[in-house]
Chain A
Amino acid sequence: MSAVADAAVAAPVPRAGSMKKDRRRALYWSYFFLILFVIFFLTPPVYMLITSLKSSAEIGAVTNPWFVYKPTLENYAALLGSKQYLTFFANSAIVSVVVVIVTMLISVPAAFALARMKFWGSATLGMGVFLTYLIPETLLFIPLFKIFAWVQNLTGIEVMNHYWVLMFIYPTLTVPFCTWIMIGYFASIPKELDEAALIDGASYFQMLIRIFIPVALPGIIAATIFAFTVSWADFLYPMAFTTSADQLVLPAGIVTILIRGDVYAWGQIMAACLLGALPPLLIYAFLMDYYVAGLTAGATKG
């Protein structure tokens, strides 16, 4: 036994073959581009962090912009003490959570139906869902505004200038994309699993709830993160549909209250943006493993 073990240990004689050299070169290049990538994407947040720790006087002074001479938390204190900023935060949170729930309630069953229940026109519908996603919001917001104005005139219900109207608007962005990724994810689940469930006596609804959702959980989490990020960070729609300070969500609120005329409260803007980026960051950190699994599923599964 020990002789076998010794032989196994002694056998691989390290030799610098051409494969090894090739691999090392490839690794160097990967590191080079990865570092470039990291610098490119991390520079803005780092700059924001540095600026958020400066007083207005220091920001205005001619000093090295990459260095903080007198660090202060006054920007953060001012924001967290401001009722308005906290209102924006709360509005954003409510809108995002509701949008995520609405999106999942629509796109999971929709994706299940499109991926698994063969019916007339299902392929065309699936393609239609994807095409909807390709229309940018910059094209959509004027027609949507018109529609909501028309609804308001027709029913007398005041829909403009309420943060809850965003709960109806954001799903136009999130539902198509989430449905589309879920279709792909559901399609990667072997067909025999539904057939086994059918024979076991499951209805389509039971099949969705008890088999597909648990099995496709990574995909659903990926879709959830996407829906949350989109509704947390969207800028154009809240700018178009809400104006009163108490109805604003974070992205619109920050530029409304922290830019007065041509006066920019840079320190507070940076602090507000960094604080605003925290919730998605925390969600990513917790669900990252699932998220990556969700994005790569279907690549190798038969």
Chain B
Amino acid sequence: MAQVTLRNLVKHYDATPAVRGIDLDIADKEFVVLVGPSGCGKTTTLRMIAGLEDITSGDVVIGDAVVNDVPPKDRDIAMVFQNYALYPHMTVHENMSFGLRLKKVPKDEIGRRVDNAARILGLADLLERKPKQLSGGQRQRVAMGRAIVRDPKVFLFDEPLSNLDAKLRVQMRTEIKKVHQKVRTTTVYVTHDQVEAMTLADRVVVMNAGRIEQVGTPNDLYHFPATKFVAGFIGSPAMNFVPCGLEQAAGGLRLSLGNGPALPVPADRAERYRAHVGRAKLLFGLRPEDLFEQRPHLEPGQHAFEAVPEVVEPMGMETLVLFTLNGVETCARVNPGCGAKPGAPLKLLADLRHMHLIDDESGQVL
């Protein structure tokens, strides 16, 4: 078991920068997920930790040792790939034991470790099968088994669930979490799926354009995003961003939304936002779940306004309502029973206790 530290890690492909200086401390036994859109440098970062990619500058530290020039096999890591990368001519047992056989680990020790991993992953009956005789989920479990038997310091996962169908993905996600709870190995997991990131991680690292946008626990990122990018990336449906003005009004501050309603800023936030009164290019950020149908009792911080739904999307347990607010398409999550219909005016409540004010120029949440 070991901690992993990245110090000012940079990677350039010829002149193109892929990773632009990353600093990250991953604690022993921690499950860290790197998440971001395609091309944000998350996989490159993982591959640099694995030693499959040369480092342009900076350091990768595993345990106490800088491993920049250490070949992958000597880094004591195990990696699970998106396309499983199982050896097609070997049985499940041979696939899982390949690394140990190369290291000349005694046969009975190999048998013990493979059996243990097979038991954890429910592969005991499949050990003599070849990969082509397995389903996608089973193959991915074998790939994880191959990592577990090596008992490495660090597990690296490179989008391991992307090739599975939606249902299996949810199932395997739970299995990965269970396996981590059992073996407690330091894990770095790369995905572009923010739901995977939120559900699996102890801490999530949101990356964008080769840089870290924010590091935090899933709840921190959700409730206290540092930038517009993180606010928009984490959460589904995504946070609404509506251009707004911030004005001084009697008894506090007020958000003006052009032709939309004027919303009073809750008193506990007014102090923080006061310096930005009159500032241009501000965005009002509110998650869809903080925009809902009118209820009998208005709580402090909630404000009612009328909207005309353009699209209504029933999801079963909730209904998404899309309407235009100050020229921007905005999403609200309402109760399916509230009778939202396209074109029919609907009373909505905005819960401003969870609002965000964003500087659209710098992208920073204020």
Residues of A near any B CB (own CB < 8 A): 190, 192-193, 195-202, 206, 210-211, 214-215, 217
How many residues belonging to B are interface residues under a CB distance threshold of 8 Å? 23
By the criterion CB–CB under 8 Å, are B81 and A195 in contact?
yes
Stretch at the interface among B84-92, B197-205, B207-215, B250-258: B84-92
Query: Which of B51, B89, B146: most chain A CB closer than 10 A?
Result: B89
B49 to chain A, nearest CB (A): 11
Stretch at the interface among B96-104, B113-121, B319-327, B353-361: B96-104
Residue in A193, A195, A202, A215 whose beta carbon sits within 8 Å of that of B102 in the complex? A202
By the criterion CB–CB under 8 Å, are B88 and A199 in contact?
no
In the complex, A192 Cα to B46 Cα: how many Å? Answer: 14
26 A-B contacts, Cβ less than 8 Å apart?
A190-B85, A192-B82, A192-B83, A193-B85, A195-B79, A195-B85, A196-B81, A196-B86, A196-B146, A197-B98, A198-B52, A198-B72, A199-B50, A199-B51, A199-B52, A199-B72, A200-B73, A200-B99, A200-B102, A201-B99, A201-B102, A202-B73, A202-B102, A206-B102, A215-B88, A215-B89
Query: Which of A195, A197, A200: most chain B CB closer than 10 A?
Result: A200
Supplied contacts A195-B50, A196-B85, A199-B78, 8 more A-B pairs, CB within 8 Å:
A190-B83, A196-B86, A199-B79, A200-B98, A200-B99, A200-B150, A201-B102, A214-B89
Chain A residues contacting B79 (CB-CB under 8 Å) are: 195-196, 199
Residues 99-135 (chain B) with a chain A CB within 8 angstroms: 99, 102-103
Q: Which residue of B lies closest to A200 (CB)?
A: B99
Contact string against A for B residues 67-80, beta-carbon threshold 8 Å, 1 for contact and 0 otherwise: 00001110001110
Chain B residues contacting A199 (CB-CB under 8 Å) are: 50-52, 72-73, 77-79, 99
Residues of B near any A CB (own CB < 8 A): 50-52, 71-73, 77-79, 81-83, 85-89, 98-99, 102-103, 146, 150
By the criterion CB–CB under 8 Å, are B85 and A192 in contact?
yes
Q: Which residue of A lies closest to B77 (CB)?
A: A199
Chain A residues contacting B78 (CB-CB under 8 Å) are: 199
By the criterion CB–CB under 8 Å, are B87 and A211 in contact?
yes
A244 to chain B, nearest CB (A): 47
A79 to chain B, nearest CB (A): 43
By the criterion CB–CB under 8 Å, are B87 and A215 in contact?
yes
Chain B residues contacting A193 (CB-CB under 8 Å) are: 85, 87
In the complex, A6 Cα to B82 Cα: how many Å? Answer: 42
A221 to chain B, nearest CB (A): 14
